[in-house]
Structure 1
Amino acid sequence: MLSGMHTEKEVLCVQEPVQRGNVQADKSAVLHV
């Protein structure tokens, strides 16, 4: 979904915590992006 707006590395930073189910880490990653 984000591949068109973000680089692969940025997308991975957001997807990794999501796959782990860590919502807090996901929010932090989104803020950094």
Structure 2
Amino acid sequence: MLENFSFRTIVEYLPLFGQGLITTVWLSALSFV
């Protein structure tokens, strides 16, 4: 039950987390350039 809830939560927030991660990496890349 707990694993299923955690898995579903991760799947739902993965796109948002991925977008934030990509944005952070992009800003870091611009800073280095």
TM-score bracket, shorter-length normalisation? 0.3 to 0.5
TM-score (ref. length: structure 2): 0.36
Q: Which has the larger radius of gyration?
A: 2
